[in-house]
Structure 1
Amino acid sequence: MRKLFFLMALAMLSSVVKAQLQIEPPPQIQPPKEEFKKNLRLSGGEFLAYPIPRQRKQTPAPEGKRLFYVSHYGHFGSHHHEEEMDYDYALNCLTEADDQGMLTTLGKDVLDRIRRMKAEAYLRWGELTEVGLSQQRVIISRMFERFRPVFGDGAHVEAHSTIDGQTVLAMGVALQQLLLLNQKLDIHQDASLHEMYYMSQQDSGLQAERLSAQKRQAFDAFCKKRRRWQRMVGALFNDKDYLEQRVDGEKLNRHLFRLASNLQSSELRKEMTFYDLYTDNEIYENWQKENVLQYLTNGFSQYDGGDQPYSQRNLLRRIIQQTDSCIKMSHPGSTLRFGHEMVIMPLVCLLGLDGYDQQVGDLDQLEKRGWVDYRVLPMGANIQFAFYRKNASDKDVLFKILLNENEATLPLNTDIAPYYHWDDFRDYYLQRINAYDENLAE
């Protein structure tokens, strides 16, 4: 009952302070199915290699306001699949069939492609690829050019990463690039268990509900209406009885599509593809299922209380605290944080960026309501806060927020869009996450 009252209170609070959200895709952005016809890589969802930002020109700051601080959280970038089993499920399934003479010529060819992907990633599970390293250099270089005043001679750069090797490496590459751009920066970097409580918060309660029985049931019902994978899987085997009795076709399809999606982060992308296995409609349906799964596991879905985004409340609180501290300084510089994809999507939802805090009851309507995972969570996804004021004594601090380097909206009223008043942001979000923590304590 307390949880119900808590959610009702949040809804009432939100209705008071929210500006009207644009939940439909902007006019210049086409529906996913149409976008895939121009760029199949987009169908990779969270495996999309970081794209060129859509917004080429930033909105100037209000008159008299000057940039003084930048705060950032970014995903470490394109990488190999995290576990050997990500390659081995499809590999073992097709190898067993091949040993028994059950693969078609196409099936044998697909098996060879999988072997090549695994060989490239062997003992590098989850590690950055060359594509990922390049992403860090390019993203930080654009940040340097866009926010040059905070990266001047002697400017302080405070950088943090999680303790995982790939994030430490991503941080190192980005900072190395910054030093190439300006050798006179004052850089401090850290990767410590001490910071993990907010850099990669582990909430056992929310984690247990991340893919609950209710969510799994809803996901399975969604998938049952999308079974075009049968043609593609059937083309790999020469014996229908073997396929029906020995192969979990839906699971094999999902693993193959994940390989197809992540190939764009591999050097093998120059030599082969998996997209030739699929029709346009098959690609679209595979993406739809992964997109829905992102919503169920990271968004404000209606199942199990719909509070998964609060898994990143410690990070949001830390961002607010560090910003308040930096506002008191004359020349605070920048705070850079390097972490994981499992943080980005729920943080975007918790912030309500571009309407991603909405609840969608009918999963068939999800993308029509503007929930499109690859616009939020490509490899290398990042969130950047840029802060402005007239001088160190100016109390009306303004900021804007960039999602993947595109100016984004927040569920707050503002008279200077895309800029917002920091006091409005701090008060609203602290009240929101404090209410959640207080509810847990009761």
Structure 2
Amino acid sequence: MPRNIRVISIIFAFFASLTASAADPTATAYTADECCGTHIPYPERNHDTAIPDSLTAVFINHVGRHGARYPSSAANTTEVSRTLHRADSAGALTPSGRELMKLADFVAAKSHNRWGALDSLGMAEQRGIASRMYKAYPHLFKGGNVSAISSYAPRCVMSMYEFTHQLDRLNNNVEIITSSGRQNSQLMRPFDLDSEYIEWRDSKAWEEPYNMAYETTAPTAPARRLTGDFLSSDDARRLSMAAYNMLSCLPAMGLPNELAKYFTPEEYNALWSLANLRFYLRYSANTLSTLPSDIASALLMNLISTTDDAVLGQSPQTVMLRFGHAETMMPLLSLMRIRGCYYMTNYFDTTALHWRDFSVVPMAANLQMILLRSKSGNYYVRFDLNEQPVPLLPNSDAIYLPWVTARQYLNHCLPLHLQI
């Protein structure tokens, strides 16, 4: 090829790539692991953030999600299996479709009588968080008192027990009181109790932007590679979505991530963005309604009041633990406006660029409010999201705040009628 033609070809290819990347400025390029979304296992944590010598931790408020689990229900696995078996009976199943059909049947068998149950990975996640907490703040457990509550869901109860049993293994002199059951639902499952939120959710106001995104984003090509032209376009989109939902659960079960085997990066990013948008619209403050975050008000008030008690020396506990769900954490983090967990826009196609469920609520996600006392007797607080310090105030990168300042900010995050 003549040199000038080769140069022109290279220039054309360069500008073509720019045009392609600029075609959809809202497209994402997250990894297959990240596109497991809320099913992504808890990230590895190998180092602690040292506290300044001038401060001593005196109290910890912890809110966490249950650890990794089996799929919460059989719905997606059943849909994938039934659709592919139907295509097989019609002679339409491709080799790739046959592999996925076998995988769906394997997932169903492995999850039988275990749907939604905490698995060994989830147990290890909770033990790991407990061990790191103990290692970082051993003095809070030597002669200290720990209280722990959980949602009534078995995976949350087991997460609480794995966490507290690990603390007991590390120091069997620590006093631990645990509580699980529906009496904790106001804090741990407000999405089941808040009548105003339930009415809004059931009104389906959030479905219009989601359905618009689904119609334009959900790909049919993955289903075509499984069943040829056997399915209608609508059914192909449904199969693609169900297959994504099933496959995204595999790493939380301790199985290999196979998203890249059945989807291109563009496809699993598109399907993840839909799942992400659904969580965002239902469980985070948005321009449709602030009710999805307001339901965490009782929990935030509890965090404020129990920290107040610790400051006043009126708390019998040195550590307070709470174990709930992704749907517990998302509203709370949004209500507190934690960076990366709160995003307001009228352009919902930009959500995936700014609000990412895999960062907000991986399996075993947790928020730790660490109360610290200075040598002069003043109180400060640090907020750790998934064991990483995060700034609280919107225009400051400070990770250590006077409790008075943090309290005032958190109080203003509450709905006006609940502010003190």
TM bracket (short chain): 0.7 to 0.9
Distance in 2 of aligned mates of 1:97 and 1:163: 40
> Partner residue of 2:189?
200
Q: Judge conservation of contact 2:151–2:181 (CA < 8 Å) in 1.
A: yes
What amino acid maps onto 2:305 in structure 1?
Answer: Q
| 1:267/1:46 CA distance change after superposition, 3 Å | closer
Q: Judge conservation of contact 1:355–1:411 (CA < 8 Å) in 2.
A: no
Q: Judge conservation of contact 1:67–1:387 (CA < 8 Å) in 2.
A: yes
TM-score relative to the length of structure 2: 0.86
**Which residue of 236, 256, 270 corresponds with 2:243?**
256
Of the structure 1 ranges 216-225 and 339-348, higher mean CA displacement relative to structure 2 is found in 216-225
Report the alpha carbon displacement of residue 41 of structure 1 after superposing the two structures with TM.
1.2
Report the alpha carbon displacement of residue 130 of structure 1 after superposing the two structures with TM.
1.2
Write the deviation string for residues 317-367 of structure 1: whole angstroms up to 9, x where unpaired.
111121212222287410011111111111110011115333122122224
> Partner residue of 1:433?
414
Distance in 1 of aligned mates of 2:56 and 2:33: 38
- Does 2:226 match 1:244? no
**Which residue of 152, 156, 162 corresponds with 1:163?**
152
Distance in 1 of aligned mates of 2:294 and 2:406: 17
> Partner residue of 1:93?
83
> Partner residue of 2:339?
354
Report the alpha carbon displacement of residue 59 of structure 1 after superposing the two structures with TM.
5.0
> Partner residue of 2:3?
none
- Does 2:62 match 1:43? no
- Does 2:49 match 1:58? yes
Number of residue pairs the alignment of both structures matches: 391
Distance in 1 of aligned mates of 2:266 and 2:295: 34
Q: 2:248 is paired with a residue of what secondary structure?
A: helix
What amino acid maps onto 1:76 in structure 2?
Answer: H
> Partner residue of 2:302?
318
Distance in 2 of aligned mates of 1:124 and 1:433: 38
Distance in 1 of aligned mates of 2:199 and 2:240: 27
What percent identity do the matched residue pairs reach?
23
Q: 2:384 is paired with a residue of what secondary structure?
A: strand
Write the deviation string for residues 160-208 of structure 1: whole angstroms up to 9, x where unpaired.
1112211111111111111121122111111133222222222122133
Of the structure 1 ranges 158-167 and 200-209, higher mean CA displacement relative to structure 2 is found in 200-209
Write the deviation string for residues 197-240 of structure 1: whole angstroms up to 9, x where unpaired.
2222221221332375442111222233324x2221001114x2
Q: Which runs of 5+ in 1 are unaligned?
A: 1-30
| 1:358/1:420 CA distance change after superposition, 3 Å | same
Distance in 2 of aligned mates of 1:424 and 1:243: 58
- Does 2:275 match 1:290? yes
> Partner residue of 1:410?
392
Distance in 1 of aligned mates of 2:157 and 2:414: 29
Report the alpha carbon displacement of residue 424 of structure 1 after superposing the two structures with TM.
2.4
Write the deviation string for residues 48-75 of structure 1: whole angstroms up to 9, x where unpaired.
111124x8451533x5321100110111
What amino acid maps onto 1:209 in structure 2?
Answer: W
Q: How does 1:358-437 map to 2 (within 5 A)?
A: 358-368=343-353, 370-390=354-374, 394=377, 396-411=378-393, 417-433=398-414, 435-437=416-418
Q: Judge conservation of contact 2:342–2:355 (CA < 8 Å) in 1.
A: no
Q: 1:208 is paired with a residue of what secondary structure?
A: helix
TM-score relative to the length of structure 1: 0.82
Distance in 2 of aligned mates of 1:339 and 1:126: 13
Q: Which runs of 5+ in 2 are unaligned?
A: 1-25
> Partner residue of 1:223?
214
Report the alpha carbon displacement of residue 296 of structure 1 after superposing the two structures with TM.
1.2
What amino acid maps onto 1:171 in structure 2?
Answer: M
